[in-house]
Amino acid sequence: MSFIRNIPDNSLSDKELVNRYKNSGDLGVLGELYQRYMDLVYGVCLKYFKDTEQSKDAVMQIFEELVSKLRKHEVENFKAWLHQVAKNHCLMQLRTPRNLKTVEFKTELVQSEENVHLNGVLEREENFQKLEHCIGTLAEEQHLAIRLFYLEQKSYHEIAESTGKEWNQVRSLIQNGRRNLKLCMEKTETSVKPIQKSI
């Protein structure tokens, strides 16, 4: 799986990394711990979704869940606990009505509210100029990350390698960038609604 970046084991146990993350809140520590089991999480997601791209997206979503979830739970066996978290995430996604396959709505596009919004925009050619304008309002690093991820279809790992950023930094840039894009697009859409109604 090319999107998974393997890192050397620094000899700390899972339990030690869990405790270090709980005490410090350092996402780098959580990222190091999570990367040990990304292949396991990906396998669980693939088993449920039967789709590689959706499974890759779920791996990133589950990491985002862990940021707060791990600090709230007492975890003795991180691997077993993570397996259950991944399983629950997949089951919740499959049970959510918006993720059911229909003619109009593609399951593989479902990642989050922000992603659904952006993917819909990208599919509508008439909104491309508005999207270009909003991308131009982003901070330079967010601008680059969004272009690579959405327009050039690069993975988190590929973006990290090409920009020299850490995986966690790439995740943060894309997450914040798509939120800013969503806000910009909503403002743009709101501003043109009265014109559309008067025609």
pLDDT in tens, 26-83: 999 999 999 999 999 999 999 999 999 999 999 999 999 999 999 999 999 999 999 9
User: According to the model, what pLDDT value does residue 178 have?
Assistant: 84
| pTM for this prediction | 0.48
Stretch(es) of the chain classified as CATH 1.10.10.10: 112-193
Cβ-contact 179, 114 below 8 angstroms: yes
Stretch(es) of the chain classified as CATH 1.10.1740.10: 14-99
- Sign of the CA dihedral 191, 194, 198, 199? positive
The answer as to CATH 1.10.1740.10 being correct for domain 14-99 is yes
Among 180, 186, 178, 169, smallest CA distance to 151 is for: 178
Spans in the chain with pLDDT lower than 70:
1-10, 97-129, 189-199
User: Which CATH code fits 112-193?
Assistant: 1.10.10.10
Nearest-angstrom CA–CA distance, 139 and 144: 9
